[in-house]
Amino acid sequence: MDSKDISKAVIGRLPRYFRYLGDLKEKGTERISSKELSELMNVTASQIRQDLNNFGGFGQQGYGYNVDYLYGEIGKILGLDRPHNLIICGAGSLGTALAGNPDFINAGFRIKAMFDVDPVKIGKFLHGIEVHSNKELEDFIKENEIDIAIVAVPVNSANDLKDKLIDYGIRAIWNFSNTDLDVPDYVAVENVHLLDSLMKLSCTAIFRS
């Protein structure tokens, strides 16, 4: 099938399948039925069959899914069969924490550099990654085949930065600034709005009590 036909909603669910299949693989599980997977993941079996049918022929009637194979195929769809080069814009405490996250490296996401405007930070190494001046952004992105930019800067500079990143060729932005970034259709943005998430949690807990 043409991978472009896969819906945004399905793409959004793939990492979770990948995570559960990785756990099963680690435990030595060789195959799993859609029913078992549905109980584990707390989604309906028909949802699972429908999602995985997007990629054709993974499951066999009466046999279930081959965990290892399915894990590998979903990994390929997620693009994890090749490495990705990232930069982190903003060497504050969140940017630094992201730089030190081993999960990203293990999944093939290589953080190549950090960028900041603060002269005190520029030239330092954080978790082994050098902090560069924002002035070097354009050259660095072009010379190092950067796929993804992490935006972890204060809200008031996030939109200016985003415009520059797109100008310099970035087509995927992972946004941690607490504002929505307006981008053209050809740029992918994934927002991690931490304060929104915390408010949602707090509100949900209040309504349950």
Chain centroid to CA 37: how far? 23
Using CB under 8 A, which of the segments 52-60, 77-85, 112-120, 136-144 binds a copy of itself?
Answer: 77-85
**Taking CB under 8 A as the rule, does residue 201 contact a copy of itself?**
yes
Q: Which long-range contacts (CB under 8 A, 24 or more apart) does 118-123 make?
A: 118/91, 121/91
Cα atoms found within 13 Å of the Cα of residue 79, Cβ hemisphere only: 8
Q: What do you get for the CA distance between the two ends of the chain, in Å?
A: 48
C-beta of 86: minimal distance to a copy of itself in Å?
A: 8
Rounded to an integer, what distance in angstroms lies between the CA atom of residue 187 and that of residue 198? 27
Residue (61 or 93) nearer to a copy of itself, CB: 93
**Taking CB under 8 A as the rule, does residue 171 contact a copy of itself?**
yes
**Taking CB under 8 A as the rule, does residue 206 contact a copy of itself?**
yes
**Taking CB under 8 A as the rule, does residue 121 contact a copy of itself?**
no
**Taking CB under 8 A as the rule, does residue 208 contact a copy of itself?**
yes
C-beta of 62: minimal distance to a copy of itself in Å?
A: 28
Q: Among residues 134, 151, 135, which one has the least CA distance to residue 86? A: 151
DSSP bridge pairs for 64: 60
Amino acid at 183: V
- Sequence-ordered list of residues with C-beta below 8 angstroms from that of 167, at least 6 positions apart, any chain: 138
**Taking CB under 8 A as the rule, does residue 35 contact a copy of itself?**
no
**Taking CB under 8 A as the rule, does residue 166 contact a copy of itself?**
no
Instruction: Single out the residue of 35, 135, 142, 200 in contact with a copy of itself (rule: CB under 8 A).
Output: 200
**Taking CB under 8 A as the rule, does residue 25 contact a copy of itself?**
no
Using CB under 8 A, which of the segments 30-38, 61-69, 159-167, 186-194 binds a copy of itself?
Answer: 186-194
Using CB under 8 A, which of the segments 46-54, 63-71, 95-103, 132-140 binds a copy of itself?
Answer: 95-103
Amino acid at 88: I
- Sequence-ordered list of residues with C-beta below 8 angstroms from that of 22, at least 6 positions apart, any chain: 71
Going by the DSSP 8-state scheme, the letter that residue 120 receives in this structure is T
Contact footprint for a copy of itself (CB under 8 A): 3-4, 6, 8, 11-12, 14-16, 18-19, 23, 42, 77-80, 84, 92-94, 96-98, 100-101, 103-104, 107, 109, 127, 147-148, 171-174, 178-180, 185-186, 188-190, 192-209
